[in-house]
């Protein structure tokens, strides 16, 4: 967890905090809506992000972020995206009860399936190309041994979600063709 100061190509700045490690949040620059909008048009390679402090204490993290925002007068200064000096992570480390999870699920049901504004929409080739370009070259950091152990423990004793699924000969043929084409492309590059 850390507090950071970011300077953007448009000469705007932002003070923020993240509950993740710096390695896991290299492409996170802040949560302000105007910042999120502006960042879409920026060259992320020239954004400067400086870590001000690192800690394992969530309360200290919030206090540190608030202090830095006040010392740099980030709320009053128009060159900062910061809109207020509030800090805190109300849901950090919390586990929700089954009842609460059910309520959340019900509240978000209006966005699922046909109710979702993107339901049935197809992405244009241009949009797909933009998404592809944005993800090219990005690699997820390797999983820690602790993380691998948690995944293994969660999967133990559960059958595969493909268990009992039988594929028709037509589907098998399509999969075969697609797999061969994939490996042929890989061999060429």
Asked, for residue 188, whether it belongs to a domain, the answer is no
Asked, for residue 109, whether it belongs to a domain, the answer is yes
* pLDDT (0 to 100) of residue 174: 94
| CATH number, residue 59 | 3.40.1440.10
* pLDDT (0 to 100) of residue 177: 95
Q: Decide: 8 and 39 in contact? Cβ < 8 Å.
A: yes
Half-sphere exposure for 54 (CA within 13 Å, toward CB)? 6
* pLDDT (0 to 100) of residue 136: 85
Give me the number of domains the chain comprises: 1
For residue 50, the enclosing domain spans: 1-114
Segment holding 16, helix H or strand E: strand 13-18
* pLDDT (0 to 100) of residue 129: 92
Q: Whole-angstrom Cα distance, residue 40 to residue 42?
A: 6
The model's pTM is 0.48
Query: Which residues of the chain are modeled with pLDDT < 50?
Result: none
> What is the torsional sign of CA 132, 134, 137, 142?
negative
* pLDDT (0 to 100) of residue 54: 84
């Amino acid at each position: 967890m850390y507090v950071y100061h970011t300077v953007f190509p448009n000469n705007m700045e932002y003070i923020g905090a993240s509950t993740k490690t710096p390695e896991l949040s290299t492409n996170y620059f802040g949560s302000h809506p105007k910042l999120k909008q502006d960042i879409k048009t920026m060259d992320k390679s020239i954004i400067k992000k400086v870590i001000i402090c690192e800690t394992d204490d969530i309360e200290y993290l919030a206090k540190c972020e608030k202090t830095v925002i006040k010392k740099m007068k980030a709320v009053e200064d128009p060159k900062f995206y910061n809109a207020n000096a509030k800090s805190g992570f109300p849901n950090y480390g919390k586990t929700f009860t089954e009842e609460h999870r059910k309520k959340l699920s019900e509240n978000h049901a209006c966005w699922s399936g046909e109710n979702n504004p993107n339901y049935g929409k197809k992405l244009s080739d241009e949009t797909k190309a933009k998404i592809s370009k944005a993800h090219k070259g990005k690699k997820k950091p390797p999983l820690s041994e602790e993380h691998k152990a948690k995944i293994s423990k969660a999967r133990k004793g559960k059958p595969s979600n493909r268990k009992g699924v039988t594929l028709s000969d037509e589907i098998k043929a399509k999969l075969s063709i697609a797999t061969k084409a994939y490996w042929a492309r890989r061999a060429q590059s």
